């Protein structure tokens, strides 16, 4: 029973990786919720059986899942860094624009020297 659940967790993690790569955030969130429920199921099954040990097949799936999770985390961190960089650039542009905006208000072309 637990092997099938862990295999399902792995297949969902693979699908999540595809969603991260394509940028489909809504589907990623749905898969994440589904995977979390399955992980809770695994925890409940482990708690029900004292001295529980994973089978070698389950361990392999868990290792593969961990590797995929690490890759997803790296991809998501790269995306986050790119977005933060874009936000900083936008803030800088906004600051520069606000500093030079008063000069744009003089549109009639007349200049009056106040020293006379």
Each residue of 29-66: pLDDT tens digit? 999 999 999 999 999 988 888 888 889 999 999 999 99
Q: Per-residue confidence at 24, pLDDT binned at 50, 70, 90?
A: confident
Q: Is residue 111 part of a domain?
A: no
Question: So what's the pLDDT on residue 102?
Answer: 58
Q: Is residue 68 part of a domain?
A: yes
Which tokens sit at 34? 């589904």
Task: State which residues form the domain around 48.
Answer: 2-101
Count of the separate structural domains present in the chain: 1
Q: Is residue 74 part of a domain?
A: yes
Q: Is residue 113 part of a domain?
A: no
Mean pLDDT estimate for the chain: 87
Give the C-alpha separation, 106 to 103, whole Å: 6
Q: Which of 13, 115, 113 is nearest to 71 (CA)?
A: 13
CATH code of 34's domain: 1.20.58
Q: Is residue 55 part of a domain?
A: yes
pLDDT above 60 (res 14):
yes
Which tokens sit at 35? 């995977």
Q: Is residue 107 part of a domain?
A: no
Q: Is residue 10 part of a domain?
A: yes
* Contact yes or no for 45/1 (Cβ under 8 A): yes
pLDDT above 80 (res 108):
no
Q: Is residue 112 part of a domain?
A: no
């Amino acid at each position: 029973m637990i092997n099938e659940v862990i295999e399902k967790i792995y297949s969902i993690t693979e699908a999540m990786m595809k969603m991260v790569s394509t940028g489909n955030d809504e589907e990623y969130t749905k898969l994440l919720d589904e995977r979390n429920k399955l992980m809770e199921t695994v925890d409940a099954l482990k708690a029900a059986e004292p001295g529980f040990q994973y089978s070698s097949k389950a361990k392999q799936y868990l290792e593969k899942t961990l590797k995929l999770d690490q890759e997803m985390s790296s991809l998501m961190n790269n995306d986050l860094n790119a977005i933060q960089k874009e936000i900083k650039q936008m803030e800088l542009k906004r600051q520069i624009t606000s500093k030079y905006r008063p000069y744009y208000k003089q549109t009639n072309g007349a200049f009056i020297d106040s020293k006379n």
